[in-house]
Amino acid sequence: MCTRHKKLYSLGTQCPQCGSRPRKHKSKNTRTPGAYDYQWQKVRAEAIAANPQCLFCGSDRDLTGDHIVPLKEGGTSTRDNVRVLCRSCNTRRENDYRKGIRY
């Protein structure tokens, strides 16, 4: 979509009037500046090394770090606020969180 002329064009094509290209969606990680910095990467790696399996299903594949108390609710990127989940459990938890289910 051309933001100046409010007309929709297919991805990768230019607006014929002004030559601007459509913008891609922003990453969801840009909402919290500095949230996933070097400190987070280090804490996440330490958590996975200490417990190399998913806390919910026990899988040892595609592990991620998960904030127990989300950053948007005042949580921090410290070792006591991080648990290890596989990517599918982490995604399921985020979807439940948005529906209002907390665990």
CATH number, position 59: 1.10.30.50
Q: What is the mean pLDDT of residues 72-97?
A: 85
Mean pLDDT of the chain: 77
The answer to whether residue 64 sits within a structural domain is: yes
What domain count does the chain have?
Answer: 1
The answer to whether residue 27 sits within a structural domain is: no
pTM greater than 0.95 (yes/no): no
Asked if the model's pLDDT at residue 26 lies above 60, the reply is: no
Asked if the model's pLDDT at residue 32 lies above 60, the reply is: no
Tell me which residue range forms the domain holding 59: 39-99
DSSP string, 55-77: TTT---SSEEEEESS-GGGT--S
Give burial (CB, 10 Å; 0-12/13-18/19+) of 80: exposed
What local confidence, expressed as pLDDT, does residue 98 receive? 62
